[in-house]
């Protein structure tokens, strides 16, 4: 619990809520992931070795900063080790899309063009296998 001087008005309470919302925003979002942008960063050995950690942090930080409601999660190796770091983006109501060779610069482009406007950007890896329904 953070120290507070006391809540004197309803506005105080709302300000306080803004302040502490981040604590649980992930949980709020998890309740209804289908309505949010889902970003899954492949964080297996191959991914991490190619800089996936940096990419994941970039997404988490920037999506929040740019006011986009998104869930950033890590996932295991997607099998595209040649194209690491790989990121799977699911826009609400759309099929998942996998991007390869993602670095912070690429990530920035993905946010601005694909996530914000739905425009396709280079680097999409066609899904070439089916997986059992999870």
Partner 1 sequence: MSQYKMHLLVCAGTGCHSSQSDLVYEMLRDEVDRKRLEEEVQIIRTGCFGFCEKGPIVKVLPDNTFYTLVKPSDAREIIDEHVIKGRRVERLLYLDPETEEHVLDSKHMGFYKKQLRIALRNCGTIDPENIDESIARNAYQALGKAITEMSPQETIDLIKRSGLRGRGGAGFPTGLKWEIASRNQANQKYVVCNADEGDPGAFMDRSILEGDPHSVLEAMAICGYCIGATKGLIYIRAEYPLAIRRLKVAIAQAREYGLLGEQIFGTSFSFDISLKYGAGAFVCGEETALIHSMEGKRGEPANKPPFPAQSGYLGKPTNVNNVETLANIPVIIMKGAEWFSAIGTEKSKGTKVFALAGKINNVGLIEVPMGITLREIIYEIGGGIKHNKKFKAVQTGGPSGGCLTEKHLDTPIDYESLTAAGSMMGSGGMIVLDEDDCMVSVAKFYLDFIVGESCGRCAPCRIGNKRLYETLERICDGKGTAEDLEKLNNLSNVIKDTSLCGLGQTSPNPVLSTLNNFYEEYKEHVFDKKCRSGKCQNLLYYVIDDEDCVGCMACVRVCPVNAITGAKKQTHYIHQDKCIKCGACMEKCQFDAISLLNDYPRAASTQVHA
Number of residues that make up the chain: 134
In three-state secondary structure terms, 85 is coil
Angle at 79 between CA 31 and CA 60, to 5 degrees: 40
Site size toward partner 1, by CB under 8 A: 39
Q: Determine if 24 is a binding residue for partner 1 (CB under 8 A).
A: yes
Point out which span in 18-26, 83-91, 95-103, 105-113 binds partner 1 (CB under 8 A). 18-26
Phi, psi (deg, nearest 5) at residue 66: -90, 10
Q: In angstroms, give the least distance from the CB of 42 to partner 1.
A: 8
- The helix or strand, by DSSP H or E, that contains position 98, with its residue range, turns out to be strand 97-99
Binding mask 49-88 for partner 1 (x = CB under 8 A): -------x---xx--x------xxxxxx------------
Point out which span in 23-31, 86-94, 97-105, 115-123 binds partner 1 (CB under 8 A). 23-31
Distances (CA, A) of 9 to 12, 14, 16: 5, 9, 11
Contacts of 9 (CB under 8 A, 6+ apart): none
Binding site for partner 1 (CB under 8 A): 1-2, 4, 6-10, 13-14, 16-17, 20-31, 33, 42-44, 56, 60-61, 64, 71-76, 134
């Amino acid at each position: 619990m953070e120290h507070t001087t006391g809540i004197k008005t309803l506005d105080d309470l709302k300000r306080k809520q803004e302040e502490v919302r981040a604590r649980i925003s992930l949980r709020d979002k998890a309740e209804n992931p289908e309505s949010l942008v889902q970003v899954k960063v492949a964080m297996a050995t191959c991914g991490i070795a190619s800089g996936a950690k940096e990419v994941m942090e970039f997404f988490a930080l920037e999506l929040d900063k740019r006011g986009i409601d998104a869930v950033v999660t890590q996932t295991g190796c997607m099998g595209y080790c040649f194209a690491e770091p790989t990121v799977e983006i699911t826009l609400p109501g759309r099929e998942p899309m996998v991007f390869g060779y993602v670095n912070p610069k690429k990530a920035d482009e993905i946010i601005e063009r694909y996530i914000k406007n739905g425009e396709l950007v280079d680097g999409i890896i066609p899904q070439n296998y089916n997986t059992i329904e999870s």
